């Protein structure tokens, strides 16, 4: 069909994807000259499990995944496993049941609407209100329908006791939630701070 | 004659052409949608008669994504008399993909669905490999097959146990039909020796959400399926190992051995599932034969086929009929229960996608038609996927105008359904399976032999249903686990054979062509039909169109006023609850809808601009409500 004519759709010739420059900048910023890149596979059971949860291509909501990708390039203690857990709650539950970490740190961007964009919240799982069974059921139903959501993951994993006692959530208030790549300026600033907070959690 | 509505004929060599003398072969004469309520008004009443009541379900829960259904119930006859199926979200993967490297489509389109976490990657890689002109090595084809086998073991149990199953649970039936629960207590389960539940009430208890044993077992089996997927894909969901020309996973004999160890567990689970769903379906249908009308619609089905024979699949459009017919699950068109064709070219040339009642602009007449024929000279409609342009426009919000983000795909201008039972149907009637010890197509059903594991070897027999209704969809899906397990064994046998022969390559090298290419990825998701139609030039995508099972099933009315499959299935569904009119829960309508296993993220494959967002729900990546 090479001789056929076609009408290009207006706007189809997309320019370089915005946001990638930011990502490169993050890597440079975080790694810096001479930073040591980790290698090898860690022992999983009993590890400190750092899981990022993000929503691909949705700017700040993709924080968990992109933060994790950047953090994975850094040096961490041998007992720390960093892993993308940007999938549905029951799948995350199965993964945690396999890994059986001694400590879990969940990292994500979550729009709560109570703090200014870029605000970092750190809370422990025992500080959350008691589970409501109907709420768990509804969250599980959404999860099996493909919806990825930090609160769904926490609720379902709590219900089936897949979370270790030592579980901390670190979440950032997003600014940009539309389709695209790269973080908004306030969330970009939070990248390095979350690294420091996770390092603090790991050292406890 | 394959086509009755489109003016496509075939010469003595089987070559398709448009009928001579037809000036506008694909012209569309719009018709006002049929409306029971409007008919009632037309006899003079100022308002709908009092026995009619509007019934809106928004959102329909226990389905994937945002589906809303509007129905009208006739309380005198206790029957649903009108229905509108509404996909409530827009995603726009077609727009996202424009101008990108075709290989990006594999990763990005994968996010179209969070339930089927690998199938869009697979079909996308197939579309790309056809465009690139490369053929995957046999073991690459088989690894892809096995990955998709495993994905079905995620999809089907999840629906049967967690989404549809609760509709038949003690928790729900005791509210809607307490008399049935009492009857179930007194009714022995015919297959108790296989699944272990003594009475039907025990099965209903098993379906109870969060605590029932069937519910919990299904949740556990989704884990086993995920392990199996990860063996073949490296990671699941959204694997990064599916590439044009095969897979990039590292495969060894131990990979296949581990896969088999998990598949053996599925053998027993499949045996139990078939018994459980035979018993629950037969119980309801025996208790009240009117249940046969719940979700009933004409047996018109479209399937694209899945699981390639590596000896035949070459990823060329030229040979698409040959490799399609060699698939272990046959492609095909079923009209009124009869098999019309198994040729993918005929399936492809009969496809049109209409937007008369969808939140999009019609693209025809606004730009020149890109392709009048496919690469083999078969005629194509201006409404065909290769000619389609996605132009979102959320205007005209009424049932007479536009009411869904889903489009209305039609084959030969007929509303077609698709599903796991559809592919079993085409496979059964086509009788094109290669000789194998696990699966036999009898012409009226499938004989499935599942090897011994903890349970002894068992032969299951799925029969093509007389009436396609909610119960037969679920029963078919349960047998679909056994059907898939049998195909898993067929693929494993072949994989070991190729390995022993030293043919261990799973991918093939390629370069990205810079000239214009047109291709299609044809495959099936858990819910059935799946195509990715692709058009590229200068190394970039010009057009990329995704058509999914639930686009077909959830379709709104077409320009001719004909309803989509969900709508057809709801109209005529009896309200069999033993509750007073004011307390109706709508369980029978919900059973009808859920039996299709709706997946709305796939359906509407985003841009809400800065519109009003009442609540944000994110599915995989890009779902905004």
B450 has a chain A CB within 8 A of its CB: no
CB-based contact A94 B226, cutoff 8 Å: yes
- Distance of alpha carbon B263 from alpha carbon B269, whole angstroms: 10
Bridge partners of B67, per DSSP, are B87
Neighbour tally for A117: CB within 10 Å: 18
Q: Which residues of B141-170 are buried (b: 16+ CB within 10 A; e: fewer)?
A: bbbbbbbbbbbbbbbbbbbbbbbbbbbbbb
Least confident of A98-112, A127-141, B34-48, B525-539: B34-48
State residue A13's pLDDT score. 30
Report whether pLDDT(A93) > 90.
Answer: yes
DSSP state, residue B52: E
Mean pLDDT throughout A59-67?
A: 94
Reported confidence tier of residue A17, pLDDT bands at 50, 70, 90: very low
Report whether pLDDT(A62) > 60.
Answer: yes
Q: Please report, for residues B259, B449, B594, the alpha-carbon distance to residue B270 in angstroms, rounded to integers and kept in the order given.
A: 16, 11, 21
Q: Indicate which of B162, B238, B514 best probes the interface with A, i.e. most A CBs within 10 Å of its own CB.
A: B162
Local structure of B402: helix, strand or coil: strand
- Distance of alpha carbon B438 from alpha carbon B440, whole angstroms: 7
Instruction: Note which residues in 228-247 of chain B have CB less than 8 A from chain A.
Output: 237-238
Which chain B residues touch A6 with a CB distance below 8 Å?
Answer: 370, 516, 535, 537, 542
CB-based contact A9 B389, cutoff 8 Å: yes
- Distance of alpha carbon B483 from alpha carbon B423, whole angstroms: 10
CB-based contact B516 A138, cutoff 8 Å: no
pTM above 0.90, yes or no: no
B620 has a chain A CB within 8 A of its CB: yes
State residue A11's pLDDT score. 37
CA distance, residue A152 to nearest chain B CA (Å): 11
Report whether pLDDT(A190) > 50.
Answer: yes
Chains A, B: CB contacts under 8 A, how many? 125
Domains located in chain A, CATH noted: 43-203 (3.40.50.1450)
- Distance of alpha carbon B193 from alpha carbon B303, whole angstroms: 35
Please tell me the CATH code under which domain B8-603 is placed.
1.10.645.10
Is the distance from CB of B171 to CB of B177 less than 8 angstroms?
no
Q: Which of A4, A137, A149 sits opposite B209 (nearest CB)?
A: A137
Q: Which of A12, A88, A145 sits opposite B542 (nearest CB)?
A: A12
B376 has a chain A CB within 8 A of its CB: no
CA distance, residue B505 to nearest chain A CA (Å): 26
Is the distance from CB of B427 to CB of B330 less than 8 angstroms?
yes
Report whether pLDDT(A41) > 80.
Answer: no
Q: Please report, for residues A95, A126, A145, B90, B597, the alpha-carbon distance to residue A158 in angstroms, rounded to integers and kept in the order given.
A: 14, 10, 19, 32, 28
**Residue bearing tokens 């890149």:** A37
What is B510-530 written as a DSSP string?
-----S-EEEEEEEEETTEEE
CB-based contact B163 A144, cutoff 8 Å: yes
B225 has a chain A CB within 8 A of its CB: no
Which chain A residues touch B375 with a CB distance below 8 Å?
Answer: 1
CB-based contact A57 B63, cutoff 8 Å: no
What are the pLDDT digits (tens) for B245-266? 999 999 999 999 999 999 999 9
CB-based contact A57 B111, cutoff 8 Å: yes
- Distance of alpha carbon A109 from alpha carbon A120, whole angstroms: 9
- Distance of alpha carbon B341 from alpha carbon B332, whole angstroms: 5
- Distance of alpha carbon B489 from alpha carbon B101, whole angstroms: 36
What are the pLDDT digits (tens) for B296-338? 999 999 999 999 999 999 999 999 999 999 999 999 999 999 9
Residues of chain B with pLDDT under 70: 34-50, 600-625
């Amino acid at each position: 069909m090479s001789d056929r004519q076609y009408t290009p759709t207006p706007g189809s010739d997309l320019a370089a994807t915005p946001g990638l420059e930011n990502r490169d900048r993050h890597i440079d910023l975080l790694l810096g000259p001479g930073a040591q890149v980790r290698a090898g596979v860690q022992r999983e059971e009993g590890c400190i499990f750092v899981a990022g949860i993000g929503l691909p291509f949705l700017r700040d909501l993709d924080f968990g995944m992109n933060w994790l990708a950047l953090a994975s390039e850094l040096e961490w203690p041998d007992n720390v496993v960093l892993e993308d857990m940007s999938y549905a709650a029951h799948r995350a539950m199965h993964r945690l049941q396999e890994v059986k970490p001694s400590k879990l740190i969940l990292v994500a961007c979550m729009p709560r609407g109570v703090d200014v964009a870029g605000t970092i919240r750190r809370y422990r799982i025992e500080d959350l209100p008691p589970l409501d069974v109907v709420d768990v059921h509804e969250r599980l139903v959404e999860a099996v329908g493909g919806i990825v959501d930090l609160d769904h993951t926490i609720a379902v994993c709590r219900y089936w006791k897949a979370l270790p006692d030592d579980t901390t959530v670190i979440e950032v208030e997003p600014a940009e939630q539309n389709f695209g790549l790269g973080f908004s300026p306030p969330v970009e600033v939070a990248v390095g701070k979350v690294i420091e907070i996770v390092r603090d959690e790991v050292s406890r | 004659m394959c086509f009755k509505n489109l003016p496509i004929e075939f010469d003595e060599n089987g070559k398709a052409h448009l009928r001579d003398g037809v000036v506008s072969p694909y012209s569309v004469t719009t018709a006002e949608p049929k409306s029971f309520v409007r008919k009632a008004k037309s006899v003079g009443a100022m308002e709908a008669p009092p026995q009619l009541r509007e019934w809106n379900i928004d959102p329909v829960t226990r389905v994937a994504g945002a589906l809303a259904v509007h129905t009208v119930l006739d309380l005198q006859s206790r029957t649903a008399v009108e229905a509108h199926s509404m996909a409530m979200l827009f995603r726009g993967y077609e727009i996202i993909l424009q101008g990108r490297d075709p290989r990006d489509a594999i990763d990005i389109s994968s996010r179209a669905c969070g339930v089927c976490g690998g199938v869009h990657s697979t079909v996308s890689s197939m579309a790309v490999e056809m465009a690139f002109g490369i053929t995957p090595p046999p073991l690459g084809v088989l690894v892809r097959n096995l990955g998709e086998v495993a994905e079905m073991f995620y999809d089907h149990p999840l629906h049967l146990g967690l989404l549809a199953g609760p509709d038949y649970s003690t928790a729900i039936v005791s509210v809607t039909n307490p008399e049935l629960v009492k009857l179930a207590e007194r009714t022995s389960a015919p297959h108790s020796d296989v699944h272990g539940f003594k009475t039907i009430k025990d099965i209903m208890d098993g379906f109870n959400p969060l605590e029932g044993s069937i519910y919990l077992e299904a949740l556990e089996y989704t884990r086993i399926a995920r392990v199996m997927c990860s063996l073949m894909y490296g990671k699941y969901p959204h694997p990064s190992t599916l590439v044009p020309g095969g897979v990039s996973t590292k495969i060894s004999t131990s990979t296949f051995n581990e896969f088999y160890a998990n598949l053996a567990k599925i053998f027993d689970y499949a045996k139990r599932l078939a018994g459980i769903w035979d018993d629950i379906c037969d119980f309801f249908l025996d208790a009240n034969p009117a249940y046969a009308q719940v979700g009933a619609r004409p047996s018109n089905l479209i399937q694209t086929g899945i699981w390639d024979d590596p000896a035949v699949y070459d990823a060329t459009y030229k040979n698409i009929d040959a490799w399609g017919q060699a698939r272990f699950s046959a492609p095909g068109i079923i009209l009124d229960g009869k098999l019309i064709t198994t040729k993918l070219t005929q399936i492809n040339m009969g496809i049109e996608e209409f937007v008369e009642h969808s939140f999009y602009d019609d693209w025809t007449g606004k730009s020149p038609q890109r392709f009048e024929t496919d690469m083999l000279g078969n005629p194509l409609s201006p409404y065909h996927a290769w000619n389609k342009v996605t132009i979102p426009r959320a205007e005209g919000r009424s049932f007479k105008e536009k009411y869904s983000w889903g489009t209305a795909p039609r084959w030969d201008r007929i509303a077609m359904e698709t599903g796991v039972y559809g592919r079993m149907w085409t496979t059964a009637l086509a009788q094109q399976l290669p000789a194998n010890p696990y699966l036999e197509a009898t012409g009226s059903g499938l004989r499935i032999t599942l090897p011994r594991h903890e349970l002894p070897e068992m032969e299951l027999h799925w029969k093509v249903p007389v009436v396609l209704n909610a119960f037969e969809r679920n029963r078919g899906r349960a047998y679909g686990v056994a059907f898939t397990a049998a195909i898993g064994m067929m693929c494993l046998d072949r994989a070991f054979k190729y390995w022993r022969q030293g043919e261990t390559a799973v991918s093939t090298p390629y370069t990205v062509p810079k000239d214009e290419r047109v291709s299609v990825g044809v495959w099936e998701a858990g819910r059935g039909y799946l195509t990715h139609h692709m058009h590229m030039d200068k190394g970039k995508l010009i057009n990329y169109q995704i058509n999914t099972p639930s686009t077909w099933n959830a379709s709104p009315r077409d320009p001719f006023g004909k309803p989509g499959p969900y709508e057809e299935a709801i109209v005529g569904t009896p309200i069999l609850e033993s509750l007073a009119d004011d307390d109706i829960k709508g369980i029978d309508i919900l059973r009808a809808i859920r039996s299709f296993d709706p997946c709305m993220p796939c359906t509407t494959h985003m841009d809400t601009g800065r519109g009003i967002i009442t609540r944000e729900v994110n599915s995989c990546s890009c779902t905004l409500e």
